[in-house]
Copies of this chain bind each other. A is one copy, B any other.
């Protein structure tokens, strides 16, 4: 038996897993179970779509995802062919003859959570991207701006001063000197006098979230997130077993009416929010909204996880003040990181937690990975104390502000009149919404092949949405390349709109 015709593919329309992923999953399992020969041709996407009663684009997306996974290869104009693994992995109930390899995947804790990871099917890793592609993706700093020599000097100085102890296990809560520096920074940023016992160094704020999940989340606990939000946040919380409840983002930050309505009828473990230069939208919570949020928190006894991830990157006025600074009842856990402004590869961030949780967090962190690397912490502290961080920040704020302006100008010029986008006061990304006819996942594949990378909107919605939206990063490319990238995107968007206006399906030709 062979061919997708013989496969029974059932699409669950209520699932949070997109239909095309469900189809890809069924075919993948069949390939792993040895139900296809190597090189066997699959039904065309048109035929598959007709048989399953789905849009052809959905079938195309399913096949593309299998191509990315190396399980299909596309012949030019000739259909899709199975690439059967040499040794098929065992899947439940599908053991091969003889001595079957061990069925590890049957032991997976939560295959469903793994399937729902948009990074799996939006990765450019397996796409034919030109080497000099314009990177309007990634909320990370531009490499060539890293002050490498300054750091090298600090590393050497720390090794000379501290001796071999610096390479031994360090304190689980982090290096005391770096924690002291963070206490001083928090004071300067308007967070008031934070007891050093509340400050933990973590391996990036991603780990901060992981630790919060371990400390607080029991399976099924409801957590509120903004929609759209940071992909890494909802993946981390989902792996921790949380039920993800979303509140939409408005023009002045998260929609507080929606939040209040939610809190009124549902107990939640905490709210995860980025009040300043939110990722992906770049929106900051207005000052009145900020007060209202803290009021709601007090009234509903709501715990808040504040991700203060790139507030050093403000391009006008003052550094935004963390919510932590107005947290009179101790309801805020504060997350910060160096990764967005400096050396993400060092993996250093911090967590400010309520004093009553410090001992528990120390236990959890120890059992997780003992501690962060001491040498990196101490070198970073030296780097900051030497004034290198301030120098670097002044430099990248100036550069990024210009790039943001360049992107906004290019959007005015090249994006259709019906498109809308945010105008952030800081950060690294903005958010654009296109007419509903434009599917940004399809656009992503087309644009990648033409040398422009951006992040499709669906990557930022844990429970679906964002199909016609995109995140555009303005911090990694020169003004000229930003302009060229936006112009190219504008061109592809216009083509798609003109095709769809003629009433034809948005996608006729294979994109890749």
Residues of chain A whose beta carbon lies under 8 Å from any beta carbon of chain B: 69, 89-90, 99, 101-105, 107-111, 114, 117, 119-120, 140, 143-144, 146, 148, 151-152, 155-156, 159, 163-170, 202-204, 206-207, 210, 214-219, 232, 235-236, 239, 269-270, 301, 303, 328-331, 339, 343-347, 354-357, 359-360, 363-364, 366-376
Contacts and interface: CB of A to CB of B under 8 A. Distances in A.
Main secondary structure of the interface of A (DSSP, over half): helix
Contacts of A328: 99
Given A108-B215, A166-B345, A374-B345, A329 B366 contact: no
B370 A210 contact: no
B373 A167 contact: no
Given A235-B366, A367-B232, A140 B114 contact: no
Nearest to A160: B152
A356 B90 contact: yes
Contacts of A218: 109-110
Contacts of A235: 363, 366-367
Nearest to A218: B109
A350 B65 CA distance: 29
Nearest to A303: B107
25 contacts: A89-B354, A89-B355, A99-B329, A101-B356, A107-B269, A107-B270, A109-B218, A111-B360, A114-B364, A117-B367, A119-B366, A143-B165, A146-B167, A146-B168, A148-B164, A155-B155, A167-B343, A169-B339, A202-B369, A203-B203, A203-B369, A204-B370, A239-B368, A345-B375, A347-B370
Given A107-B269, A235-B366, A369-B210, A164 B152 contact: no
A343 B119 CA distance: 34
B206 A367 contact: yes
Contacts of A219: 219
Contact of A356 (B104, B156, B204): B104
A207 B369 contact: yes
A94 to B, nearest CB: 12
B344 A102 contact: no
Contacts of A108: 215-216, 357, 360
Contact of A148 (B159, B216, B366): B159
A116 B152 CA distance: 43
B169 A344 contact: yes
A347 B327 CA distance: 35
B347 A369 contact: yes
A119 B365 CA distance: 13
B151 A167 contact: yes
A358 to B, nearest CB: 10
Given A216-B108, A239-B214, A347-B370, A164 B140 contact: no
A272 to B, nearest CB: 14
B356 A373 contact: no
Contacts of A301: 102-103
Given A102-B331, A104-B357, A236 B345 contact: no
A269 to B, nearest CB: 6
A167 B207 contact: no
Contacts of A355: 89
B156 A354 contact: no
Contacts of A144: 164
Contacts of A169: 140, 339, 344-345
A329 B117 contact: no
A156 B152 contact: yes
Contacts of A214: 109, 239
Given A104-B303, A148-B159, A235-B366, 4 more contacts: A89-B356, A140-B168, A148-B163, A204-B369
B216 A329 contact: no
Contacts of A210: 367-369
Pairs A-B, 10 closest by C-beta atoms: A89-B356, A207-B369, A235-B367, A146-B164, A167-B343, A167-B345, A345-B374, A143-B164, A102-B331, A104-B354
Contacts of A372: 347
Contacts of A69: 359
A210 B103 CA distance: 21
A152 to B, nearest CB: 5
A164 B301 CA distance: 45
Nearest to A169: B344
